[in-house]
Amino acid sequence: MAFGTAAATVDFGPVTQPKDRQTAQVDLPTQYRPAEVEGKLYERWVSAGLFTADPARDPARPAFSIVIPPPNVTGSLHVGHALDHSIQDALIRRRRMQGYETLWLPGTDHAGIATQNVVERELAKEGLSRHDLGREAFVERVWQWKAESGGKILGQMRRLGDSVDWTREAFTMDEPRARAVRTIFKRLFDDGLIYRAERIINWCPRCLTALSDIEVEHAEREGELVSIRYGSGDTEIVVATTRAETMLGDTAVAVHPDDERYRHLVGKEVELPLTGRTIPIVADEHVDPNFGTGAVKVTPAHDPNDFEIGRRHSLPSITVMDEHGVITAHGPFQGLDRFEARPAIVAALREQGRIVKEVRPYLHAVGHCQRCSTVVEPRVSLQWFVKVAPLAKAAGDAVRDGRVRIHPPEMAARYFEWVDNMHDWCISRQLWWGHRIPVWYGPNGEVCCPGPDEEPPAGWTQDPDVLDTWFSSALWPLSTLGWPDRTADLERFYPTSVLVTGYDILFFWVARMMMFGLYAMDGVEPFKVIALHGMVRDQYGKKMSKSFGNVVDPLEWIERYGADATRFTLLRGANPGGDVPIAEEWAQGSRNFCNKLWNATRFALMNGAHVRGELPQELSDADAWILSRLQHVIAEVDRHMEDFEFAKACEALYHFAWDEVCDWYVELAKVQLQDERAEATRRVLGEVLDKLLRLLHPIVPFVTEELWTSLTGEQTLVTAAWPAPAQELVNKDAEMLLESLQRLVTEVRRFRADQGLKPGQRVAAALEFAGSPLAAHEQAVRSLLRLNPPGESFAATASLQVEGVTVRLDTAGAIDVAAERKRLEKDLAAARKEVEQARRKLGNADFLAKAPEAVVAKTRDRLAQAESDIARLEAQLAALPTA
């Protein structure tokens, strides 16, 4: 991905104005400094209410709404947020310009575990724990922290340019959201879709709470696979495990029913070492005969798969660890931490001759708590669950029948894989910060779940647990619009138009929003489109990690290069569903692009460009060409943005702005601004920049706002109309003619360079057009190529023919012939050496027989290129003037 390259450097200095026209007054500084522009513009936009939605405003206008994936209240803007928000902002700004009633609703998530950990760390500095304060005082302390320190990311969103409706800012723990949580819980409870039961869950021994699947991160870790002999004699069987410490809670050994090695043992009992207990050998299809010995220990209280085996075979469940991961089973290992108990138990087994084999190291996936990195412990625990089967089916059906579209479509398979195989959702957390479960218990074990506006019975005790953070965020598209009340916002903006998020939380958050939205709104989906993007990676495709030293802080980039450059860099790599590579030099290139726009617009203003009145009827070929190209670009950008192809939209805009507008049209305009075509060119130049800045505004809002308001005199670009292609301005003839002119100029520039002429060096040249339509553009050709008319002493020393035009150059005195001859001879010698080496290789039978085909082909290509270079260099040497 190359930034900032072009065929030639463009001089944006003013051309000489006709005597009867004064140069326009230009308020733009000579250089673009983002820090002096971005902050003031953003506050002006917010103060003017440009981002505020009004559900009652013009009901005929279509609605377009996005609710922001709520970042954690503890969070700071990281590069993933910056990508996600840049995509959403580009969508919402474009729809706003297209005349939609737009709502982009901001807010934050209370982040139960993360926030509680932050405040507990602060208390620890004071020598206190949450238990010292008590629940009520601790929760009050968290609210205080939230008011003083939480939500820092909201200010950072302003720096990025998020055009969100700040009047509707929401928080997953504020009262409107809390009421929505109580309402949905009550409905699910009454419908039998919420229940309390002992099930195996993910447990963090450090945070002392159950975890959802998304709060567990799996990583490959080195362990050891130990094979242990259970029983003896006829009932001897060897099992393989990486968690020897849990064997104290084994209640069976399982084998596959079709495994001939163990079929005779099924139904028998075997002695469990170190315990004095006997346990059955059962047959279960879950067992993989190819893992280890093909026989596995079954510990229902400490392994999710074993828990299911235990349920199928009615096995008892024995808990041998407490909530801290400490062994509780009576015996010599009681009181040991789980990781202390593991080698101690292996040592005891080895002493008894029970260890058959040890594999060290053994690489396997280990779950860690996302917040504290503690190894997660599967644990049977009494928890609250959502019965997901009917909800998940509805979520799958909504995508299958087309009510919700996943983009890119190939991601739908991953979604179905999740919703079609979803397990009941553990929603209770053993925390103090969060939505407390709205269930009360009576003195005799009675259970009561009052409605959101009802009081619990006097004297009853509320459940101490809080709800999983994802429970409240699953309601986000609803609760932020006022549900459970039928508010004007809910009527106007639900279902939301699009959900933009990373593919990594497709299963965990997106699926939950689908389930709750469809359930709460009687089958109406929470969003029409799920637009998934990938993860931001470094330029080599490597995952960003502090340990790799390749993490990008978007706030540093904003400080260094500006918000627009940061956004453009991210969006230029954003393909639907694909990971996004970025590098700092690309951000530098994006900054250069913003500067290019600035200089081009400043040049135009200094030379009288404007947008007043209709376009001229009589257009020069150059004016007709650039207007025609503009229509194609408008249509192309529209198509790409509708398909969430932001990378392609950025590429189209980048190359049109830099290559066609700046490198070609501005240079052609310099010629036309000095003759009778000047006024028409001023209007066309204004038109092209007007539409180009509109197209770029959703992507780079700050620099385009500053430039567009200076160009047009209007108050803001935020609500200006989005361009539509004008078919009547498409001119194929002008396009073909200007493409021919560009080929001519490009080839002559290359030829000049081959002759040793510097890009800005003027030389005399004779041009023979021989009936070519390019004859009408001789003045432009000479200007672009720095060619003077031939004088009396003109003598051609070099010539070429291209596009039907013969160009003869007089380079005498323009180049140092001796130095140029020396340079060309050096290059020629290098090319001849390359030919010699390549021919020697290709003439070697051993090389041709043993070298990979790709290497042989590359050598042939090098030979062909070197031979071509020799011919070119010999021709250039022959064309040099003689001394």
Report helix angle 511-520 to 412-419, nearest 10.
70
Measuring CA to CA, which residue among 792, 800, 739, 790 is closest to residue 765? Answer: 790
Give which of 188, 105, 95 is closest to 482, Cα–Cα: 105
Contact assessment for residue 770 and residue 744, using Cβ atoms and an 8 Å cutoff: no
- Going by C-beta distance under 8 Å and a sequence separation of 6 or more, which residues neighbour residue 616? 623, 679, 680, 683, 684
172 burial type by CB count under 10 A (0-12 exposed, 13-18 middle, 19+ buried):
buried
Residue 536 β-bridge partners: 580
Element (H, E) at 342: helix 338-351
For residue 484, cis peptide bond before it (omega within 30 degrees of 0): yes
Give the whole-angstrom CA distance, residue 587 versus residue 569: 6
Q: Within 10 Å of residue 611's Cβ, how many Cβ atoms? A: 18
**Per the annotation, does 546 bind a ligand?**
yes
Q: How many residues does the chain have?
A: 883
Determine which helix (DSSP H) or strand (DSSP E) holds 63, and give its type and residue range: strand 63-67
Give, in degrees to the nearest 5, the angle at Cα 529 between 98 and 719: 15
Question: Which alpha helices (H) appear in 98-174, and where do they start and end?
Answer: 112-125, 130-133, 135-148, 152-160
Please state, in angstroms and as integers, the Cα–Cα distance from residue 847 to each residue in 855, 858, 860, 861, 866, following that order. Answer: 10, 13, 12, 16, 20
**Residue 354 near residue 363 (C-beta atoms within 8 A):** no
Residue 72 per-residue DSSP state: B
Structure tokens given for 251: 């209640």
Question: How much of the chain is in helix, strand and coil states, percent to nearest 5?
Answer: 45, 20, 35
Tokens of 524: 């109406």
Residue 42 CB neighbours (<10 A): 21
- The span from the CA of 643 to the CA of 648, in Å, is 10
Cβ proximity of 651 and 572 under 8 Å: yes
CA distance 179 to 427: 17
- CB of 541 closer than 8 Å to CB of 579: yes
Q: Which residues are annotated as a binding site?
A: 546
Residues annotated within a binding site for ATP: 546
